[in-house]
Amino acid sequence: MVMPPITKAFTLTELVAVIFILAVLSNLTLGRVPDLSYEDEIFISEYHTSLAKAMANKETVVLENKMGFYDLRFNQNGTINEAKTMKGKKGNLIAHLGSSYLTYEN
């Protein structure tokens, strides 16, 4: 009795199942990526730069906007003076009090 050679390959069903799982996971992940405008990205960058500067130099740093919509003051520990919700181009930027945590909501 001659045994057929064993091939190491995936079946079509296994490949379709893997592609389906990857499609579902990528759809869930892409749904959570915020759609930021250029101005919002610039503000987030300036926010983190001011936070790092305040903590590195152990001094108070004021983040001012050219349009005057927000002024945030970081103390030497990196915390901000007050919580604020700032209207961005496409959503809201929320600076949390105490932790200096910044979130974005569409």
Residue 16 in domain? no
Residue 25 in domain? no
pLDDT of 106 strictly over 60: yes
Query: Residue 73: in which H helix or E strand, if any?
Result: strand 71-74
Residue 57 in domain? yes
Give residue 31's pLDDT band: very low, low, confident or very high (50, 70, 90).
Answer: low
pLDDT of 68 strictly over 60: no
Residue 92 in domain? yes
pLDDT tens per residue, range 33-44: 677 788 888 888
Residue 32 in domain? no
- Dihedrals phi, psi of 58, to nearest 5 degrees: 55, 50
**How many folded domains does the chain comprise?**
1
Q: What is the mean pLDDT of the chain?
A: 81
Residue 75 in domain? yes
Query: Out of 27-36, 38-47, 71-80, which region has the weakest mean confidence (pLDDT)?
Result: 27-36
Q: Say what the pLDDT of residue 79 is.
A: 84
Does pTM top 0.95 for this prediction?
Answer: no
| DSSP code of residue 59 | S
Residue 99 in domain? yes
Write out the residue range of the structural domain in which residue 82 sits.
Answer: 38-105
Do residues 35 and 104 lie in contact, with contact meaning Cβ atoms separated by under 8 Å? Answer: no
Residues 37-52, mean pLDDT to the nearest whole number: 85
Residue 69 in domain? yes
Give residue 15's pLDDT band: very low, low, confident or very high (50, 70, 90).
Answer: very high
